[in-house]
Chains A and B, each alone.
Chain A
Amino acid sequence: MKRLLQILIWTAVAALGAVALGTIAFHRGEPINATWFVLAAACSYLVAYRLYSAFIAAKLLALDNTRATPAERRDDGRDFVPTNKWVLFGHHFAAIAGPGPLVGPTLAAQFGYLPGTLWLIAGAAFAGCVQDFVILFCSIRRDGKTLGEMARDEVSKRGGLIAQLAVLTIMIILLAVVALVVVNALKSSPWATFTLAMTIPIALLLGVYLRYFRPGRVLEASFIGVALVLLVVVAGQWVADSPYLAKVFTLGGVTLAFAIIAYGFAASALPVWLLLAPRDYLSAFIKAGAIFSLAAGILLVRPQVLMPPLTRFVDGSGPVFAGKIFPFCFITIACGAISGFHSLISSGTTPKMIQREGHARFIGYGAMLLESFVGVMAMVAACAMPPGVYFAINSPASIVGATPEAAAATISSWGYPLSGATMTGLAHAVGEQTLLNRAGGAPSLAVGMAQIFSSTIGGDRLLSIWYHFAIMFEALFILTVLDAGTRVGRFMIQELGGRVWKPMGRMNWMPSILLSSALIVGAWGYFLYQGVVDPLGGINSLWPLFGISNQLLAAVALVVATTILLKMGRLKWIWVTLVPMAWLVVITMTASYQKIFSANARIGFLSQANAMAAQLAAGKVAAAKIADTQRNIFNLRLDAVVTAVLAAMILVLLMEALGQWYAILSRSKEPVMQETPYVATQWAEGD
């Protein structure tokens, strides 16, 4: 009877999900209510978790709760700490949830709500969650080894080096693009700039408090910090209203880029307890609060989605970024559906803290489902504003024009009615001088969030406070990714440098710290500067580059996972990792090829560089712009080389893996696995 009831309940959930998915897929004409998105996503996730993850856990991985995990065998109270599965879920989710699932779907909304929403749901269920879950399992069985170590041990030594280099390259592109998102959100905005600048002294204050006054009392320090941050969000309005202070905090893109570069260097070279760690504590609480509030806001307000399911830009002529749905929707969504970076967390802290193998399903698969849900909410927030407003915020001036009237005329001619007064009024309502040409996703998401929040609490009166709260939340946790990533990049450079020149590998040697910090900051800072001065807005070239590199890392992770599963003799179910891996190779190779060689100058780096070079040769460039044009040509060619190097990395790794797979399947070589031997758990069931 109980079984029958269960079947009935799950059939009802699946049917409701199918109806909701069908509604958002086939709805045309009138705006559609956001509740359908929430229902479609939630029901699909529940069914995927109940059926697909259970199948993977039982058949593909054969999780064994009688086997002691690294946390039990090596419990040291520091790295290896057995942790309650709900706490570890929160830990893992806080680590994997970054700005990607907020920014990616917001940018992909230029195709309409449908392609992005479908990929967020399907990509997470069949690719992203699978990757996180399987890599977590592989790492648990190897005492918490990293992805690079597993690639070296299970694929080949060259595979390990490629994985390490891929991580470093991706880190550089990632840091540049997230910094660009912050620059585009803060430029010419004294309120937002002041608020974010003030988080630095607040973090320093907390750092000293936690180091000298109350060591390790993270909760009380975080409560004080969050209260101070909320105070400076409100105080930002006074700064914006003061003629003198507003002038001080009104900064252009280039100045902001250099300020962020200097900040990144400081965060990397200064003691971690002083700036980086306290900022991370603040960010974790504000991130959790903002995501929860957004979900609650969408459920309470149930906004209408005004963006059509498909826009005219499915043809590849989009103003936010150029390229067709295939492959660029998948490249742009990235983290909300599958993120290669998650494999670093799944093979980092989490496997060392897990109590039971069986918890890997809830933590690995479940946390990624939640991340995908955040992506769907970001899509709803971006699509709930009138499409004309969305395009005005996200399009570069070189395409739509720099004034509200010019932008409104261009965007209206595309079929998305907009008046200049609407943009001026909206900018005024959120306390900004302008909202135009702020590509990057953060400001449009902030407008969407602010409209949802203000419909719940405060009405139009609080719109500007909510807008700046949303900007602060996004910028704060982007900067956390930036400083933590810069520091990790510094360690990677020190480690790689140590192979060439030993003293460079000494982690506490000050010249090595300063040199490696300068190298990593210089690398992402260069791409950031390039993005800020890019006439097409920077996001057009940098975000696809980031998406390609991120998805390539996911392909690396799935290659490693597939190799390990083949060695375990799981050939029958190998399609679970093989199919998403093949899909990622296809989309990243297609995107890489198009970004390098496309004849369309807005897509292909080389054709854009050649078009500029031709203009230069024909003397059509004004004398004052010759140096800028030459620099742009160099940057475009550099982007083409970086894309080619990334594509070459995955192809080499794939060849290495194919050699391994052939040897395993043809039984020409006995597979050697580096799995830790079985040790029975000493814990009673239910511990």
Chain B
Amino acid sequence: MRTLWKQLQGSLRNFWRGLRQWSGDSAYETYLACATRESAQKPMSAAEFYVEQLNRKYSRPNRCC
């Protein structure tokens, strides 16, 4: 029973993490991890990143018919 509960918790955690990734909710965290790892420059703030990311995303086809 305890193992089952743990498995359920793990699945829910994975689902939540996937949902956040899919929707873009965790995009800034992903960017921050990458920026601090690989760039010496000061990373963008959450608001700056949000606007910059949207401008890039909606300048190319990203929704189909």
A-side residues, CB < 8 A to B, are 75-79, 81, 83-84, 86-87, 90-91, 94-100, 146, 167, 174, 178, 210-212, 215-219, 222, 271-273, 276-277, 280-281, 284-285, 334-335, 339, 341-342, 344-345, 348-349, 480-481, 484-485, 487-488, 491, 507, 546, 550
Contacts and interface: CB of A to CB of B under 8 A. Distances in A.
Given A86-B18, A215-B46, A98 B60 contact: no
B64 A273 contact: no
Given A98-B65, A217-B25, A273-B51, 19 more contacts: A76-B38, A96-B64, A98-B63, A146-B60, A216-B28, A219-B19, A222-B23, A272-B51, A272-B55, A272-B58, A335-B65, A339-B64, A348-B60, A349-B57, A481-B65, A484-B61, A484-B62, A488-B61, A507-B59
Given A273-B54, A488-B59, A178 B65 contact: yes
A280 B65 contact: no
B46 to A, nearest CB: 4
Given A211-B50, A488-B59, A507-B59, A216 B24 contact: yes
A348 B21 CA distance: 18
Contacts of B45: 215
Nearest to A80: B34
B64 to A, nearest CB: 4
A87 B26 CA distance: 12
Contacts of B24: 216, 218, 281
What are the 10 closest A-B residue pairs judged by CB atoms, nearest first?
A77-B34, A77-B31, A215-B47, A344-B61, A215-B46, A216-B50, A484-B63, A100-B65, A219-B25, A98-B65
A167 B59 CA distance: 14
Interface residues of B, number: 37
B12 interface: no
Interface in B8-23: 18-23
Contacts of B20: 219
Given A86-B18, A219-B20, A273 B63 contact: no
Contacts of A484: 58, 61-63
Nearest to A480: B63
B47 to A, nearest CB: 4
B22 to A, nearest CB: 5
Contact of B23 (A75, A97, A219, A550): A219
Contact of B53 (A78, A98, A99): A78
Given A90-B18, A339-B65, A491 B59 contact: yes
B2 interface: no
A61 to B, nearest CB: 23
Contact of A277 (B30, B46, B58, B65): B58
20 contacts: A76-B34, A79-B56, A87-B18, A212-B47, A215-B47, A216-B24, A217-B25, A219-B25, A273-B50, A273-B51, A277-B54, A277-B57, A277-B58, A339-B64, A342-B64, A344-B64, A481-B65, A484-B58, A487-B58, A546-B65
B64 A97 contact: yes
Q: Which of A78, A94, A272 has the most CB of B within 10 A?
A: A78
Contact of A345 (B49, B53, B57, B64): B64
Contacts of B33: 77
Contacts of B19: 219
Contacts of A284: 23
B63 A280 contact: yes
Nearest to A491: B59
Given A215-B47, A219-B20, A281-B23, A335 B59 contact: no
A66 to B, nearest CB: 24
A280 B33 CA distance: 26
A211 to B, nearest CB: 7
Contacts of A271: 51
A78 B56 CA distance: 9
Contacts of A100: 64-65
A91 B50 contact: no
B58 A348 contact: no
Q: Which of B30, B46, B60 has the most CB of A within 10 A?
A: B60
B45 to A, nearest CB: 8
A369 to B, nearest CB: 15
Nearest to A342: B64
A217 B18 CA distance: 15
A401 to B, nearest CB: 32
B21 A84 contact: yes
A491 B47 CA distance: 24
B61 to A, nearest CB: 4
Contact of B63 (A84, A95, A222): A95
A216 B46 contact: yes
A345 B54 contact: no
Q: Which of B35, B49, B57 has the most CB of A within 10 A?
A: B57
A98 B27 contact: no
Nearest to A167: B61
Nearest to B36: A77
A378 to B, nearest CB: 14
B18 to A, nearest CB: 5
B50 A215 contact: yes
Contacts of B49: 215-216
B30 A349 contact: no
A292 B34 CA distance: 35
A95 B64 contact: yes
Contacts of B28: 215-216
Nearest to A212: B47
A100 to B, nearest CB: 4
